[in-house]
Amino acid sequence: MSELKYRFRQAKNYVMFSITFLCTLLTVGVLFFILGYMVWHGASSLNWDFFTKLPKPVGEPGGGMANAIVGTGKLLLIAALIGVPVGFLGGVYLSEFGRNNRIGFLVRYATDILNGIPSIVMGIFAYTVVVLPMRRFSAVAGGIALGIMMIPIALRSTEEFLKLVPNSLREASLALGIPQWKTIIRVVIPTGFRGILTGIMLDLSRVAGETAPLLFTAFSNRFWSAGWLQPTASLPVMIYTYSIAPYEDWHRQAWAAGLVLLMLILFVNVVSRLVLRRRLAMGV
Minimal distance, residue 82 CB to another protein, in Å: 11
Mapped onto helix, strand or coil, the DSSP state of residue 93 is helix
Minimal distance, residue 119 CB to another protein, in Å: 6
User: What dihedral angle (degrees, nearest 10) is formed by the CA atoms of 65, 66, 67, 68?
Assistant: 50
- Pick between residue 49 and residue 240 the one whose CB is nearest to another protein: 240
- Pick between residue 9 and residue 44 the one whose CB is nearest to another protein: 9
Minimal distance, residue 48 CB to another protein, in Å: 15
Strands (E), 155-280: none
Report CA torsion sign: 186, 191, 195, 198. Answer: positive
Q: How far is CA 191 from CA 60, 160, 179, 185, 204, in A?
A: 54, 13, 17, 10, 22
* CA-closest candidate to residue 72, choices 202, 254, 256, 260: 260
Report CA torsion sign: 259, 260, 265, 270. Answer: positive
Amino acid at 132: L
* CA-closest candidate to residue 56, choices 258, 249, 257, 256: 249
Minimal distance, residue 47 CB to another protein, in Å: 19
Distance from C-alpha of 139 to C-alpha of 169, rounded to nearest angstrom: 43
Minimal distance, residue 215 CB to another protein, in Å: 7
Q: How many Cβ atoms from other residues are within 10 Å of residue 4's Cβ?
A: 8
Write the DSSP symbol of residue 282: T
Minimal distance, residue 266 CB to another protein, in Å: 7
- Pick between residue 49 and residue 209 the one whose CB is nearest to another protein: 209
Minimal distance, residue 137 CB to another protein, in Å: 6
Write the DSSP symbol of residue 245: S
